[in-house]
Amino acid sequence: MAPRSSFILEPTLLQASQGHHSRLLSGGGCISRAALSSPASSLGSAGDLSWASPSPDQHEEMQEPLCHEIPPIGRGKHAIHLWQFLKELLLQPHAYHGCIRWLDRSRGIFKIEDSARVAKLWGQRKNRPAMNYDKLSRSIRQYYKKGIIKKTENSKRLVYQFQPQYR
DNA sequence: AAGGAGGACGCAC
DNA sequence: GTGCGTCCTCCTT
């Protein structure tokens, strides 16, 4: 029923297809362009590293209006990845206060404060009602080998760290 | 109990 | 093949 295709945000498309840093059309969603830094893809293409530079907190001038809209679905090619979703939440501390937050923003260290809620949000985004933290964390663990997210040195509970290229 | 590490299998791209 | 989602065993906090 819902005209999904006209409302969906395609962040992965933006970074996967060209890698150009065009502003996301903030029509139905409110993901800022900084929400999705291209991973290793930007290593090959020069010129679009302006905002994905290795520098920690360059600037954070994008406190865009909160969006609690939950895109209908997201599987397959056009699906947002878990690590992108987590960054999305982290970039909106007001909207997800008490849910997830940066512990050390410059090092990409964050803490999931309400595991159940984060899992529920992820489940909503992916249209997976049965999502829980047990399963979400399994996916995070898959990121270890891929070099996207890792556990911190002291391995604190519910604390993870984005690898530099994914910050 | 809740969280964490991985193996194994299945499924939609 | 990828990126999970699901289920499971065992271990740690």
A110 pairs with which residues across the strands? A102, A160
- The CATH number assigned to the domain holding A137 equals 1.10.10.10
Indicate whether A139 belongs to any domain: yes
Indicate whether A74 belongs to any domain: no
- Provide the residue range defining the domain that includes A87: 80-166
Q: What is the domain count for chain A? A: 2
Statement to judge: residues A98 and A160 lie in one domain: yes
| Model confidence, pTM | 0.70
Per-residue tokens: A49: 């590293």
What does the pLDDT profile of chain A (167 residues) look like in tens digits?
333 333 333 333 333 333 333 333 333 334 444 444 444 333 333 323 223 333 333 333 333 333 344 454 577 778 999 999 999 999 999 999 999 999 999 999 999 999 999 999 999 999 999 999 999 999 999 999 999 999 999 999 999 999 999 99
User: What pLDDT score was predicted for residue A33?
Assistant: 40
User: What pLDDT score was predicted for residue A73?
Assistant: 59
Residues with CB under 7 A from strand B: A 75-78, 115, 133, 137-138, 141, 144, 151, 155-159
Statement to judge: residues A13 and A37 lie in one domain: yes
User: What pLDDT score was predicted for residue A17?
Assistant: 32
- Say yes or no: Cβ of A162 under 7 A from any atom of strand C: no
Q: How far is CA A56 from CA A1, A35, A107, A156, A164, in A?
A: 44, 14, 7, 22, 9
Indicate whether A12 belongs to any domain: yes
Report residues 42-101 of A contacting strand C, contact meaning Cβ closer than 7 Å. 79, 81-83
User: What one-character-per-residue DSSP string does chain A give?
Assistant: ---GGGT---HHHIIIII---PPP--SS----GGG----THHHHSTT--SSS-S-S-------PPP-----S---GGGPPPHHHHHHHHHT-TTTTTTTEEEEEGGGTEEEES-HHHHHHHHHHHHT-TT--HHHHHHHHHHHHHHTSEEE-TT--TTEEEE-GGG-
Q: Which residue has the tokens 């994914």?
A: A166
Statement to judge: residues A86 and A161 lie in one domain: yes
